[in-house]
Structure 1
Amino acid sequence: MEAVAARAVLHYVLTGRCGLAVTGLRALELARGDLALLPTGARHRLSAAPGRPGAPPPLDPAGSTALVHELDGPGPPVRLLSARTDRPAPPLAATLPRALVLDRARVEAAPLLRDTLALLAAPGRRPGPGDRLLALRACEAALALAAPRRPDGPHRHTGIGRALAAVETRFAEPWTVVTLAREAGMSRSAFTAAFREAVGTSPARHLTARRIREAARLLAETGLPQSAVPARVGYRSRVGFHLAFRTAYGTTPGEYRAAAPRRPA
């Protein structure tokens, strides 16, 4: 049987307190607003109260990539947003602990992560085709937020984490491989090699993917004029933006917006 590739999983506490147990690790306690990240999808159990017997999360490879659910227990209600990527976790994930917690303050201080979680957990929101992209964005934002705090991985260099954080939160700036290497405090050649080994792709491709994901979000979820989208995500050339978008999604930005299920006026 073919092995299932590791995929990042996160659990975001909407109400109450709960526990998360991973075999071989100290049990984690989560309060409202905390986010538990399992970078490589380690097997784990969730419980309605720390120290109580838990149950496996409701996510599975064949199920939804994001859902809001409740944990059974005698105490106050515990509601969680759980999400997973549908892509294999990048090599960077292997440099992080098998499970870690981003507390409420760190989540609130990261606008992209905070807003994506809020969108996925919006009351009355029905699962839709955009969940895959939103769940991927949430997991990648959490990974980027966690990476700078883990300098003791294989590369022992916080520079890769700084570059990832810059791409994640400041993607619209006029980055080049040279300026990203400068952000990381490394030479261009050393940075490119270390980045590819950690993330599984080149800095330029990673930056392009981040910009195009944000463009897709703007097209599907906002009423921003289509002509303003390229500059908003860091493109100075509309032609270059259209080519990159079509390569990523197999359709033009206009066709993508027209096919979006709904968006605010």
Structure 2
Amino acid sequence: MDANTARAVLHHVLAGRCRLVLPGAGPLELAAGDLALLPSGARHRLTAGPGAPPPPGPAAPGAGPPRSGGPPVEVRELGGEGDGARVLTVRAGYDRRTAPPLVAALPRALRLGRTRVDAAPLLRDTLALLAAPGRRSGPGDRLLALRVLEAGLVLATVPPPPDGPRRHPGIGRAVAAIENRYAEPWTVVTLAREAGMSRSAFTAAFRAAVGTTPARHLTARRIREAARLLAGTGIPQSAVPARVGYRSRVGFHLAFRTAYGTTPGEYRAGAPRRD
């Protein structure tokens, strides 16, 4: 695996209760609706039942970093009837260089409660789609898994303010706009308008919540999508800048090279050798 590629794992509890155990760290208790995120795919175990003790022996990868050919999306039953849990597991890789700065500072594992998950409609609805009864896996699962992990990482890097999650709801709207509507001609002014805040207040609140400026966060999102289009689709290279929101090809090439250390053409040429 490329040294710049990190493996993220997400567990969403569909029913029941379970515990996530990592070596050298306290366990995370998870109930129905909760989400556990491991930004770098740390080794861990999932055990069923409220307060269930970890099984004997050293922690194994379990649902950790995906093995070659492993499913990016799966639903599993843990434990037995009465004390078991039903869990959706999603796995995907991402490029460390274009991840939000706070991702590197996140703990090995963290819990996002049901309330926070329900407050993120895109993430909530995609999780429900992936866990739908009778759903069959398909070639689009890897892309869906990547989108779920991206949404989970964004949610994890924008913690609720101390005075409650509704203190700065506009920051959440701006982050969602960047995540899902990156190709639009955003500026700091129009993002601040989306958030319903003044430019100065928005810029300060955004940096405090996300750890970088709105412009840099937008650039990282656009370049990450460009890399996906170059490596995973047959879209002409000349069409990629406009698809991700760049009007200037020169500006796009400079931004891409700054992020990946290579030109878009070189990146596409090397795609078959990438994990």
TM range (shorter): 0.5 to 0.7
- Asked if the contact 1:84/1:135 (under 8 Å) is kept, the reply is no
Match of 2:125 among 109, 118, 135: 109
Runs of 5+ unmatched residues, structure 1: 1-6, 116-121, 126-130
Where does residue 141 of structure 1 map in the other structure? 151
Give the Cα–Cα distance (whole angstroms) in 1 for the partners of residues 175 and 54 of structure 2: 34
Q: 1:47 to 1:153 in 2, by over 3 A?
A: farther
Partner AA of 1:11 in structure 2: L
Once the two structures are TM-superposed, the CA of residue 191 in structure 1 deviates from its matched residue by 1.0
Q: 1:59 to 1:135 in 2, by over 3 A?
A: farther
- Asked if the contact 2:7/2:40 (under 8 Å) is kept, the reply is yes
1:5-39, CA deviations, whole angstroms, 9 ceiling, x for partnerless residues? xx9964245998662358989832348xx853468
Where does residue 18 of structure 2 map in the other structure? 19
Partner AA of 2:250 in structure 1: V
Once the two structures are TM-superposed, the CA of residue 254 in structure 1 deviates from its matched residue by 1.1
- 1:252 matched to 2:260? The reply is no
Where does residue 47 of structure 1 map in the other structure? 47
Give the Cα–Cα distance (whole angstroms) in 2 for the partners of residues 198 and 148 of structure 1: 5
Runs of 5+ unmatched residues, structure 2: 1-5, 131-136
- Asked if the contact 1:107/1:114 (under 8 Å) is kept, the reply is no
1:41-82, CA deviations, whole angstroms, 9 ceiling, x for partnerless residues? 99985224555334667389xx84787587874579967335
Partner AA of 1:100 in structure 2: G
Give me the TM-score of the superposition, normalised by structure 2: 0.63
Where does residue 240 of structure 1 map in the other structure? 251
Give the Cα–Cα distance (whole angstroms) in 1 for the partners of residues 218 and 66 of structure 2: 24
Give the Cα–Cα distance (whole angstroms) in 2 for the partners of residues 144 and 99 of structure 1: 12
- 1:36 matched to 2:36? The reply is yes
Where does residue 241 of structure 2 map in the other structure? 230
- Asked if the contact 1:45/1:57 (under 8 Å) is kept, the reply is yes
Where does residue 213 of structure 2 map in the other structure? 202
Once the two structures are TM-superposed, the CA of residue 163 in structure 1 deviates from its matched residue by 0.7
How many residues are matched? 239
Where does residue 218 of structure 1 map in the other structure? 229
| Further displaced range: 214-223 or 97-106 | 97-106
